Amino acid sequence: MSKLLLDVGNTRVKWARVRAGMYEYVGALPLAGLSVEGFLQQVWPEDEKPSLVVMACVGEGEWVKLLRFCIANSWASRLLEVVSEAQKNGLKNGYAQPSSLGVDRWCALLGAWQMHQQAVCVVDAGTALTIDVINNGGEHLGGLIVPGLLMMRQCLRVGTAQVAGHLVANAQSEDVPSNGLLGRNTTQAVAGGALWSLAASVERLANQATELVGGPMHCVLTGGDAQQLLPLLSGNWLKQPDLVLRGLLSYTGESLAT
């Protein structure tokens, strides 16, 4: 029985296929300008459509509504939309109201827990950057949410007139400092400042969290800005772009085989 996994975020959609018990992460596309019909044709061009589509969706809009309609009617596939639960597969949700934990965070935590079955720090560097920690007993200890890279830069652009003017003037400049640290114009200073601020937040929380879990832990990084953050982080960070999809796999009844 073939299955399709969909991770619909704020700005991108990712997908993976499960066929003959084999999991295959395929890729990601930006949502801006993406037609639902074209997307579904690219995701599954074969005539025989998947029997089950498992989806995590962080927002609600016309694109998502049309996606639901097409899956149910054009494909006649069963659609399962995942919501955050109190516990699953040995992982315990740390929120007092489990459903209020973002489904993307929940699925990322599930994916990380299934991969390691030990204490783990999960960082999702997307529109917002989230940091969550699981202890060795599978208990989600909670997390932090801070603005992501683009949001940080936009805050300066909107809130500071002088900075905004310099950003326009330097629009053609390199987006990151050439020396990897200090900017030589306002555009580089803002870009580097946001990036290093996020890296410092992740490093500090990860270091402090080792005390909470009582020892070493795995560190996993996912999200669209993961590649930019990774070189600035010390220690052994694993970049896992399909972490949410690996969590969604829990809802198919399949174990991970790649």
Active site residues: 104
In this structure, the number of other CB atoms found within 10 A of the CB of residue 73 comes to 9
Report the distance separating Cα 170 and Cα 248, nearest Å.
Answer: 42
Q: Give me the numbers of helices (H) and strands (E) for the chain, helices first please.
A: 8, 12
- Within 10 Å of residue 47's Cβ, how many Cβ atoms? 5
State the amino acid at position 144 in one-letter form. Answer: L
Of 64, 61, 113, 70, the closest CA to residue 91 belongs to 113
Q: At what angle do helices 36-43 and 62-73 cross, to 10 degrees?
A: 50
> What are 91's strand-pairing partners?
88
E strand or H helix that includes residue 7:
strand 3-8
**C-alpha to C-alpha distance for 164 and 169, rounded to whole angstroms:** 9
Q: What CA–CA distance (Å, rounded) separates 121 from 238?
A: 10
- The Cα–Cα gap between 170 and 186 comes to 7
